[in-house]
Amino acid sequence: MFNITPTVGCVATGLIADSRAQVDKARSEAADFRYKYGYEISADLLAKRMANVNQVYTQKAFMRPYGVSLIIIGYDIEMGPQLYKVDPAGYFVGYKATAAGVKQQEAINFLEKRIKDDPELTIEQTIETAVDTLSSVLATYLKPTEVEMAIVSANNPKFKILTTQEIEDVLS
């Protein structure tokens, strides 16, 4: 889990070295945008730019495509909460909830069942849904040291990674 800007963060799943390279590129793109336009980049624009970079890597014979999927999250004052998934092929799409990784399809199926009933969730309900999804898909007891969580909301648009103590409070 990485901070890109104060209001945008991301989760990277895949090869660790590629994850770091992608996050560095995302931070560079965000800094260039801030310098050029005078305000922070939104999650949708950052996702689009990262998808464009990934797509170029699929076209060149001398460049290996990145082996990492990014989930970019942020809060935009005009558009509200934003969640985008960027894949190595250069495709990006927005979601209400998504997953990436080994058990991606099981997690997405669980989220679809849970969210289709009530798409407008409070922060507490959203966190509870995320924890339920992880524990259901992984079929194990979650330990606070093995889980990373971050929150962004209308009340606090800053991307905040929760501490181990805060995660322990959520899990109990």
Q: pLDDT for 5-60, tens place per residue?
A: 988 999 999 999 999 999 999 999 999 999 999 999 999 999 999 999 999 888 88
| Residue 91 within any structural domain of the chain | yes
Domain assignment of residue 51, given as a range: 2-95
Least trusted range by pLDDT, from 21-30, 87-96, 144-153: 144-153
pLDDT of 75 above 70: yes
Q: State the Cα–Cα distance between residues 62 and 51, nearest whole angstrom.
A: 19
Does residue 104 sit within a domain?
no
d(CA 36, CA 11): 26
Number of domains in the chain: 1
The confidence band for 76, taking pLDDT boundaries of 50, 70 and 90, is confident
Residues above pLDDT 70, as percent of the chain: 98
User: What is the CATH classification number for the domain harbouring 45?
Assistant: 3.60.20.10
Average pLDDT over residues 97-103: 87
Burial (Cβ within 10 Å: 0-12, 13-18, ≥19) of residue 107: buried
Alpha helices in the chain (DSSP H): 16-37, 43-59, 104-117, 123-138, 164-171
